[in-house]
Structure 1
Amino acid sequence: MHAMQYDITLPADYDMRIIRDRVASRGHLLDAFPGLGLKAYLIRERADGSPVNQYAPFYLWTDPAGMSAFLWGPGFQGIVDDFGRPVVRHWTGLAYDEGPASAAPPRTATRRRRRMPDGVPPADTVAAELALHEHESAADGVVARAVAVDPRHWELLTFTLWAADAPDLPADAAGPAGQAAPDTDRFQVLHLSAPGRSGLGPGRLW
């Protein structure tokens, strides 16, 4: 599994209905895309308390060939044509699980990013994160949850789809292995394409 996301930050006065209309008319085009586990079409809006207006699609790929076919094909070129070429971040998958609300359509999503601490064996940090994932993926309202890592920047990523509004993370919440509280971003889910969702998990991916 590979996780992938690009953030398109839009002007403060941008009409986000343009993005909603874009997803409504084009979101279905990836509903059967080969190699795609799922794509969550995400936005966050200043009108709802976000610091930015942003379109930020999030992908979980079951096959790197599918990711390449998308990036070098007409789908991503449409993003480049309309918004310019964004930075595409990607992470190596560690685990994926369905939650208690897996049958429900997701309404919101959370993305947490946390730097892995220096001086702690990477395997220990990953093990602690996977133990936390096992607990949190079973929380009420979770549709699905994934954990991934960027070993270039030693960053852990957790991505959770929720059937309702995402709960607040306590301000003093600490990560496993003595890590600081993560940066958490919240998004609305406009559409979910999930042709290969059943092939993403369950559990750890090695």
Structure 2
Amino acid sequence: MHAMQYELTLPADYDMEVIRARVARVGHLLDDWPGLGFKTYLMRERGVSGSPVNQYAPFYLWDTVDGMNTFLWEGAFQKVSNDFGRPSVRQWTGLSYAEGGAVDIPARSAVRRSQSVPDGVELAEVMAEAVGETERLAREDGVVFAAAAVDTARWELTQFSLWTHEAPKADGEVFEVLHVSAPGRERLPRGRQW
């Protein structure tokens, strides 16, 4: 499993209905994308759920690198770059994935929490704790799925969870879910990824 996200931070007075309309118009285009486990079309609106910014920030879980590369190099990502400028694309190595009891219910919010992996810690212990947190989150009421991933260039651990309600029981940045494409959900490896 591979995780990916890019963030388009928009002006404070940007009409976020433009983003909602864009996703309503094109969100379905990845509903059958080969190699894609999940794409969650996410946004944050300044002043809502504590967000300091207007932002469009889709989050992806890929079950194949080929699917991700096809998305990035063969035109789909180019459309985003053409419309908004080319954003930096964050990529993480997957640590764990767990489905919640609400996996078949439409998601309304997502939470992303990132933290540094301190120097001097036992990496196996930190990663095992991340797997445990993924499993704990997946047991919460209203969770669609939970995942953990690590960026080894920055040594940053990211926990991501998708929820059916607007007030998730997790710490981190809260996003509104505009659409979910999940063509390869069944192929995403469950549990610990090593």
TM-score under structure 1 length normalisation: 0.90
What is aligned with 1:21? 21
Q: 1:150 to 1:109 in 2, by over 3 A?
A: same
Q: Deviations over 1:111-154 (max 9, x none)?
A: 01010122111111111221222222111111101110111111
What is aligned with 2:157? 156
1:200 aligns with 2:192: no
Q: 1:194 to 1:159 in 2, by over 3 A?
A: same
Q: Is the 8 A contact 1:12 1:52 kept in 2?
A: yes
Q: How many angstroms apart in 2 are the aligned matches of 1:31 and 1:128?
A: 32
Q: Which runs of 5+ in 2 are unaligned?
A: none
What is aligned with 1:181? none
Q: Is the 8 A contact 1:33 1:195 kept in 2?
A: yes
Q: Deviations over 1:51-75 (max 9, x none)?
A: 0000000000000011100001211
Q: Which moved more, 1:45-54 or 1:91-100?
A: 45-54
Query: Which AA in structure 2 matches 1:141?
Result: G
Cα displacement (A) at 1:202? 1.6
Q: 1:114 to 1:84 in 2, by over 3 A?
A: same
Q: Deviations over 1:98-117 (max 9, x none)?
A: 00111111000000101012
Query: Which AA in structure 2 matches 1:193?
Result: S
Calculate the aligned-residue CA RMSD, in Å: 1.2
Q: How many angstroms apart in 1 are the aligned matches of 2:155 and 2:32?
A: 33
Q: How many angstroms apart in 2 are the aligned matches of 1:91 and 1:4?
A: 6
What is aligned with 1:132? 133
What is aligned with 1:188? 176
Q: Is the 8 A contact 1:101 1:143 kept in 2?
A: yes
What is aligned with 1:67? 68
Q: 1:169 to 1:66 in 2, by over 3 A?
A: closer
Q: Which runs of 5+ in 1 are unaligned?
A: 171-183
TM-score under structure 2 length normalisation: 0.96
What is aligned with 2:11? 11
Percent sequence identity over aligned pairs? 57
The 5-angstrom pairing of residues 166-177 of structure 1 reads 166-167=167-168, 169=170
Q: Is the 8 A contact 1:8 1:83 kept in 2?
A: yes
